[in-house]
Structure 1
Amino acid sequence: MANDISPELVAQVRRGATRLARRLRAERPADGLSLNKLAVLSHLHRNGPSTPGEIAVAERQQPQSLTRVIADLEQAGLIIRERDERDRRQSVLSLSPDGLGALAVDASGRDRWLAQALRELNETERQVLRLAATLMEELSEL
């Protein structure tokens, strides 16, 4: 691999991220939001008001695949749709207070499990994970 990145490192990072993601999914509420709905709400929480096209690009999805998801979220009162002031043909979506609450409920079980798991580590290990989390966020944006 380029820049002498070992295949073992690549496999180890992939396995660790995959296993952690699987475990965190298992800690979600059984009646929770679909992963697509959660992705839209999370995007709006992280990035603020966005057009459906911006969300689709950021989430690496086709805009058509999010049409139903966005309609369901709007109907449930979890997002607010307004006309874009710059381009009246477009709509801008934003997170409603209920949407923020739904995100909090969805994250609470995962956060409880993760907080308990992190208590099993020493402070140095937690700091290493803080750095790794930052790097994984950066990697996810490439």
Structure 2
Amino acid sequence: MTDLDDLLHDTAVDLRMATFRLTRRLRRERAGDNLSDAHFAVLGNLNLHGRLAIGELAQRERVSAPTMSNTVDALVESGLVVRVPSEEDRRRVYIEITGAGTSVVTATVHKRDAALADALADLDFTDEELRVLREAAALMRKVAER
């Protein structure tokens, strides 16, 4: 392996571990205790992209359509999403987030942002370190969107 290969590998390991720990910590911050990560991911997708068919949701979350159907059933029962029949094709049904679902997403995002801001404040980073973190966040987003 070359020095560049070693650097890439070591960076990948460090990034994976830091991301994993931070994600696990942030996932504890939720507006609803009875909401699983899978449920929140579906709500987040619907909040971001608008109404979607179950197949589209399943594809976005990389699960089977029957698994997504079960997840949607639970969210419908909780009043966080509704099924909306297609006006063009009666066989097609879309899933749409409700006001309550949007509120859960908004509250959870606010809790997570506040928890992370508090953690950053507790660490007493300098302005320069905070700028580096922002730059790192942009690079991480680039990797995630690849």
TM-score by structure 1 length? 0.83
Match of residue 77 from structure 2: 75
Structure 1 residues 88 and 126, CA gap change in structure 2 (3 angstroms): farther
Structure 2 unaligned regions, length at least 5: none
TM-score by structure 2 length? 0.81
Q: Which whole-Å CA distance do the structure 2 matches of 1:25 and 1:50 have between them?
A: 24
- 1:23 corresponds, among 22, 25, 44, to 25
Task: Tell me which amino acid in the other structure corresponds to 2:141.
Answer: E
Task: Tell me which amino acid in the other structure corresponds to 2:144.
Answer: S
Structure 1 unaligned regions, length at least 5: none
Q: Which whole-Å CA distance do the structure 2 matches of 1:103 and 1:56 have between them?
A: 19
CA contact (8 A) 2:29 2:108 kept: no
Q: CA RMSD in A?
A: 2.5
How do 1:35-74 and structure 2 match up within 5 A?
35-74=37-76
Secondary structure of the equivalent of 2:100? helix
CA offset digits 1:60-112 (Å, max 9, x no partner)? 11111111110111122211221223433221112111001112333343222
- 2:139 corresponds, among 131, 135, 140, to 135
How do 1:5-20 and structure 2 match up within 5 A?
6-20=8-22
CA contact (8 A) 1:33 1:106 kept: no
Match of residue 87 from structure 2: 85
Secondary structure of the equivalent of 2:52? coil
Match of residue 114 from structure 1: 116
Task: Indicate the larger mover: 110-119 or 46-55.
Answer: 110-119
Secondary structure of the equivalent of 1:80? strand
Residues paired across the two proteins, number: 142
Q: Which whole-Å CA distance do the structure 2 matches of 1:135 and 1:18 have between them?
A: 16
Structure 1 residues 48 and 121, CA gap change in structure 2 (3 angstroms): farther
- 1:104 corresponds, among 65, 84, 106, to 106
Q: CA deviation at 1:26?
A: 3.2
